[in-house]
Amino acid sequence: MNTNFSDIAKQFDWEEITRSIYSKTSTDVEAALNNLTPTLEDFKALLSPAAENYLEEMAQKSQYLTKERFGNTIQMYIPFYLSNECQNICTYCGFSLDVKIPRKTLTDNEIIEEAKAIKKLGYDHVLLVTGEANKTVGVDYLKNAIRLIKPYFSQISIEVQPIETEEYQTLVEEGLHAVLVYQETYHKENYKIHHPKGKKSNYEYRLETPERLGKAGIHKMGLGILIGLEDWRTDSFFCAAHLNYLEKKFWQTRYSISFPRLRPHAGGTKLKSVITDKQLVQLICAYRIFNQELELSMSTRESENFRNNIIKLGITSISADSKTEPGGYNKPKEALEQFEIDDKRSTEEFANIIKQQGYEPVFKDWDKVLQ
């Protein structure tokens, strides 16, 4: 199989997919709910406005499927910001080149101190985050950072600029477990509007990143869209199609989906596609019904109430106690943060909420020896 997802994506017309989703009926939704092996057409029905009337049924099914696969457990992770330097202009991001904030990249000592501070909170799975500044925060920097923090954590993931297959391989050899790389939007023309400058403005390069990750033999990759840029329904359809393609091609890889919604930040643009809480629940449940094995992840961008209740509806991994500025756990400096978090509860407090709901918060589900 020599095709790649760019070729497949060309077969889908954005407007046509949008029309198709919006014309789904309750009959289509019911058929999707009854299909034991749901298709992409079923996913469209589950995303559609027609499915909004089936939210409770979707939630029940999502909970059942999630428990069967993942049991009564929720995986815990925490973001670890290494740098907020960035050469890209992204119209929605607090780290964008044109946003006037102080820039900071952690030194070796600061990385170690930050790792210790995070370890104290009880975390064993961390997600390293940076902007895109290839001169100061390139592959060598990341490699060094992984090497420095490896003694402290069982599982290390990254959410950084896309890089080459061989570069990913180098990081995998250092002990990298997972890479999260969101397409932001699958709307090719508008992608350029949201990403006017920097390496990130290359749509195709970003779209082919999961392909390079698969070839590099990564254990897990995380996909997603930035909810708010374009119609979330159409974008989610493309994301699910991408996932379907990848699962069959890179069958040894695990997949996760995240649900970042745009939030107020230093840049500040108007949102094109607002998703309500109800619709976000619909989207989460739609993914679960579509794909039982998929990991579904939630950050602290969401409110306390939403996060308390979403645990039972299909989410399998969640962060807490997060800081979005480099060095924030050791020495908090809010002026540097990427976005303001909503749920600021402590790890212990949130872990107790999880337990009260009848789930075990799992901090360790991987081991260094497995790399």
Partner 1 sequence: MEKLVIANKEFESRLFLGTGKFSSYDLMEKSILASASELVTVALKRVNLTEGENDTILSHLNHEHINLLPNTSGVRNAKEAVFAAELAREALETNWLKLEIHPDPKYLLPDPIETLKAAEELVKKGFIVLPYINADPVICKRLEDVGTAAVMPLGSPIGTNKGLETLAMLKIIIAQSNIPVVIDAGIGSPSHAAQAMEIGADAVLVNTAIAVSQNPVEMAEAFKLATIAGRMAYEAKLGKVNEKAEASSPLTQFLS
Q: Is 253 in the site for partner 1 (CB under 8 A)?
A: yes
Q: How far is the CB of 209 from partner 1 (least distance, A)?
A: 20
Please say which residue, 36 or 335, places its beta carbon nearer to partner 1: 36
Number of CB atoms found within 10 A of residue 64's CB:
14
Binding map of partner 1 across residues 6-35, x = CB under 8 A, - = no contact: ------------------------------
Q: Could you say which residues in the range 289-318 bind partner 1, by CB under 8 A?
A: 293
Binding map of partner 1 across residues 33-62, x = CB under 8 A, - = no contact: ------------------------------
Distances 91 to 51, 226, 239, 301 between C-alpha atoms, Å = 32, 12, 21, 18
As a whole number of angstroms, the distance between CA 25 and CA 231 comes to 19
Q: Could you say which residues in the range 141-170 bind partner 1, by CB under 8 A?
A: 154
Token digits for 344? 């600021």
Q: Helix 232-249 and helix 14-22: axis angle, to 10°? A: 110
Q: Which stretch binds partner 1 (CB under 8 A): 10-18, 68-76, 91-99, 334-342?
A: 68-76
Q: Which stretch binds partner 1 (CB under 8 A): 99-107, 263-271, 323-331, 355-363?
A: 355-363
Do the Cβ atoms of 87 and 300 come closer than 8 Å? no
Q: Is 254 in the site for partner 1 (CB under 8 A)?
A: yes
Among 56, 68, 100, 189, binds partner 1 (CB under 8 A): 68
Binding map of partner 1 across residues 189-228, x = CB under 8 A, - = no contact: ----------------------------------------
Please say which residue, 89 or 115, places its beta carbon nearer to partner 1: 115
Q: Is 369 in the site for partner 1 (CB under 8 A)?
A: yes
Q: Is 67 in the site for partner 1 (CB under 8 A)?
A: yes
Residues that bind partner 1 (CB under 8 A): 67-73, 154, 247, 251-254, 293, 355, 358-360, 362, 364-367, 369-370
